[in-house]
Structure 1
Amino acid sequence: MSQNRPKTMLPHELDGKRAVVTGGSRGIGAAIAQNLLDAGATVITAARKSTDETPAASKFVPADLSTTEGVREFADTALSILGGVDIVVNCAGGCRAFQSALDIENDWQHTMDVNFLSAVRVNAALVPSMREAGGGVIVHMSSTATISSYPMILHYAAAKAALEVYNKGLAVELAPDGIRVVSLCPGNVETPGADEARDKIVEYLGQDPAAAEETDWAAEVPLGRIGRSQDIADAVTFMVSERASWITGSNLVIDGGKSAT
């Protein structure tokens, strides 16, 4: 399969749209932000810090989205820059600790704050401007960890599962306002964050890091490869476009067919 396949957006299809991408400094979030920029949107990216991957044409806002105060400050800044918001992509997330499912003192609260409550708080802060604009689209980034989880990341999977349930209910609540709400479930994707996670899993399981480097992560994927950030970004670009105007409350699994097995 070509590594350089064309992106799926149409020229200028997001002209005039104002978008926010949390977790937009690298990996999937950065690819989404770049796609939205290429389609004509004005984009604000948010994360703790920018990286070499952060799209240069986006307006980067440093933010700690794990706290109520951090989200409030970010939302105020975003609205002051954009004047309103039409597209919100909640891509902030991650798993910093791999632990027993019974280890509730370590990372449960932080994982819920980053992967679930950050989206709840961002939406609460930005939806009023979307209502004023007469509509919009909210995208939540979930994970196939909700389909087949492992004890070492149960806190992460639980946070993403909560996000998916929230996604459905919010879609119903906001439909009369013309605001669509969707979620996506990426599988095993090649990104800096996922690479770090795979290394931590190897460490948690006590495996030989050198031997683990030879692991063929694509072996169980029917389409024969792990994902790329662009695979997810293209799906998001479609979801926020008018081509997806009758899609809301849905959760799209993007994993090369792995969950089907």
Structure 2
Amino acid sequence: MPRFVIDPREFADQRVLVTGGTKGAGQAIVRRLSAAGAVTVAVARSAIPVDSTPGLFVQADLCTPEGAVTVVRTVKDKLGGIDILVHNLGGSSAPGGGFAALTDELWQEELSLNLLGAVRLDRALIPAMIERGRGVVLHISSIQRRLPLPDSTIAYAAAKAALSTYSKALSKELGPKGVRVNSIAPGWIRTTAAEALVQRIAEHSGTDEAAARQSIMDALGGIPIGRPSWPEEVAELVAFLASARAASIHGSEYTIDGGTIPTV
């Protein structure tokens, strides 16, 4: 796992909200920005793990409008608002089996988890950023918006493609108002959620987990650096894009996939 030098004052007095902030890349993002002086808020629908230490934790299901209301009310009451908004929430619980296995309910779940939660929080929290004339919004998309895996992640890939398009459109509107918007498209990240996908594919195909992992690698066309990304590497990219070092980077999507995407 990589180690990075961190300026402990880079995000001093900055209020940061990270959705899906208690596991995987989200947890790494919270730790990275907290170490740089930010006041961090982690949001998740499950209880906070014992090894997660955000400044504030809000338990809420952002797949529902009510969950978004809970988060917005809490951060406004406790912090007065947010300066940096990181939409890390995402994932897929769809079964293998391709398009025919996806019901309307599964499609709605994937869209709610990977797109609509971000839309709801943006609508509620960005207006205050506009009033202040500054703010940063980062949407965590996925390379699967360009390389969908047909066996099990069609709906996830479609939702992430929508998130990237939404993020670009939002950047056009908010740039003149002082709010920077960018997106990040990770490839395979070594997280518990990724391992859960491996298990689902293994169960559906009747193979072991090693074969399921290889099937994912094959579907992606391989990873030239020979491994998935670490969550901490994604967090480092988030820290850069959220910082003043990236003050002129706006309306862009950054891919972090070990070279998986084979085209320019």
Q: For the superposition of Structure 1 and Structure 2, which TM-score range results when normalised by the shorter chain?
A: over 0.9
Report the CA distance shift for 1:210/1:174 in structure 2 as closer, same or farther (over 3 A): closer
Question: More deviation in 140-149 or 230-239?
Answer: 140-149
Contact kept? 1:16, 1:42, Cα under 8 Å: yes
Report the CA distance shift for 1:137/1:54 in structure 2 as closer, same or farther (over 3 A): farther
List runs of 5+ in structure 1 lacking aligned partners. Answer: none
Structural mapping, 1:110-149, within 5 Å: 110-149=109-148
Structure 1 position 129, deviation (Å): 1.8
Tell me the equivalent position of 2:174: 174
Quick one: distance in 2 between partners of 1:107 and 1:216?
A: 23
What secondary structure, in the 3-state scheme, does the structure 2 residue paired with 1:50 have?
coil
Structure 1 position 225, deviation (Å): 1.6
How far does the alpha carbon of each residue in 1:26-78 deviate from its partner, in whole angstroms, 9 at most, with x for none?
Answer: 11000001111011110110001234366314211100100112101211111
Tell me the equivalent position of 1:162: 162
Question: More deviation in 99-108 or 31-40?
Answer: 99-108
Quick one: distance in 2 between partners of 1:214 and 1:23?
A: 24
List runs of 5+ in structure 2 lacking aligned partners. Answer: none
Quick one: distance in 2 between partners of 1:54 and 1:135?
A: 32
1:56 to 46, 53, 66: 53
Extract structure 1 runs of 4+ deviating beyond 3 A. Answer: 213-219
Percent of residue pairs identical: 38
What secondary structure, in the 3-state scheme, does the structure 1 residue paired with 2:104 have?
coil
Structure 1 position 214, deviation (Å): 7.4
Contact kept? 2:187, 2:229, Cα under 8 Å: yes
Question: More deviation in 246-255 or 103-112?
Answer: 103-112
- Return the TM-score normalized by structure 2: 0.91
1:230 to 224, 229, 232: 232
Contact kept? 1:24, 1:45, Cα under 8 Å: yes
Tell me the equivalent position of 1:251: 253
1:101 to 99, 104, 109: 99
Contact kept? 1:86, 1:133, Cα under 8 Å: no
Aligned length: 257
What secondary structure, in the 3-state scheme, does the structure 2 residue paired with 1:227 have?
coil
Question: More deviation in 124-133 or 249-258?
Answer: 124-133
Report the CA distance shift for 1:132/1:97 in structure 2 as closer, same or farther (over 3 A): same
Question: More deviation in 194-203 or 39-48?
Answer: 194-203
Quick one: distance in 2 between partners of 1:29 and 1:13?
A: 19
- Return the TM-score normalized by structure 1: 0.92
